[in-house]
């Protein structure tokens, strides 16, 4: 009986955390105006998100042992993020294009890549994160690392211009009319081996 109580207690805590994570994710979508719900609900959704995230220790300082313990458990159990995949809508996808300028004046275009298909899905996930405003401080560092990987393969490249942008695929009717996807640059960086300067 005692062991059953322990199991039930764990069950309660575990699913309480899952519920909190899921609701926090859902309210965050509403607060970001990504849903069909009226914008009047934004402020309530933001408050509800904070409320849902409270049991996860998000309000505490990042050094708080409670916050860290909860975060460790969530990551260990694989329940740190909600289940809002491909929801509420599917935006365009992101593309990172490297313009490779060689010493002899040649110009080539290249994209970061892996050799396997499974890893290509991961790259898409990385690019989606780079497009997210929350990851803005990391953008330059990550793009620089990706440029460096290209440099390792082509040591004779003199300069690399990295352009990151959003690709909007055509709608069905646009596609039927022969329209193709459009590319909208968001940011670009120029890198050279000796000095890196942000544009």
Instruction: Summarize as ranges the residues that interact with other proteins (CB under 8 A).
Output: 4, 7-8, 11, 14-15, 18-19, 22, 25-26, 29-30, 34-37, 62, 67-69, 71-72, 75-90, 92-93, 112, 114-126, 129, 138, 141-142, 145-146, 148-149, 152, 167, 169, 171-172, 175-176
**59 or 106: CB nearest other proteins:** 59
**18 or 50: CB nearest other proteins:** 18
**64 or 106: CB nearest other proteins:** 64
CB of 30 to other proteins, least distance (A): 7
Dihedrals φ, ψ of 139, to 5°? -50, -55
Gap between the Cα atoms of 106 and 145, Å rounded: 23
Gap between the Cα atoms of 160 and 144, Å rounded: 10
CB of 99 to other proteins, least distance (A): 19
| Distant-in-sequence, close-in-space partners of 103: CB < 8 Å, separation ≥ 6 | 156, 158
**16 or 102: CB nearest other proteins:** 16
CB of 109 to other proteins, least distance (A): 16
CB of 90 to other proteins, least distance (A): 4
């Amino acid at each position: 009986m005692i062991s059953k109580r322990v199991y039930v207690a764990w069950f309660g805590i575990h699913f309480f955390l899952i519920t909190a994570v899921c609701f926090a994710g859902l309210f965050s979508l509403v607060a970001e105006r990504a849903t069909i719900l009226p914008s009047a609900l934004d402020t309530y959704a933001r408050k509800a998100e904070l409320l849902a995230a409270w049991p996860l220790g998000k309000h505490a300082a990042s050094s708080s042992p409670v916050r860290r313990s909860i975060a460790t458990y969530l990551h260990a159990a694989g329940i740190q993020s909600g289940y809002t995949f491909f929801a509420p809508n599917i935006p365009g996808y992101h593309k990172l294009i490297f313009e490779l300028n060689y010493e002899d004046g040649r110009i080539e275009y290249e994209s970061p890549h892996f050799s396997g298909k499974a890893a290509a899905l991961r790259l898409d996930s990385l690019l989606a994160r780079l497009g997210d405003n929350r990851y803005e401080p990391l953008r330059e560092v990550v793009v620089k690392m990706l440029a460096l990987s290209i440099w390792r393969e082509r040591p004779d490249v003199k300069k690399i211009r990295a352009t990151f942008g959003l690709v909007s695929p055509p709608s069905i009717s646009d596609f039927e009319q022969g329209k193709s996807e459009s590319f909208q640059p968001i940011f670009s960086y120029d890198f050279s081996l000796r000095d890196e300067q942000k544009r």
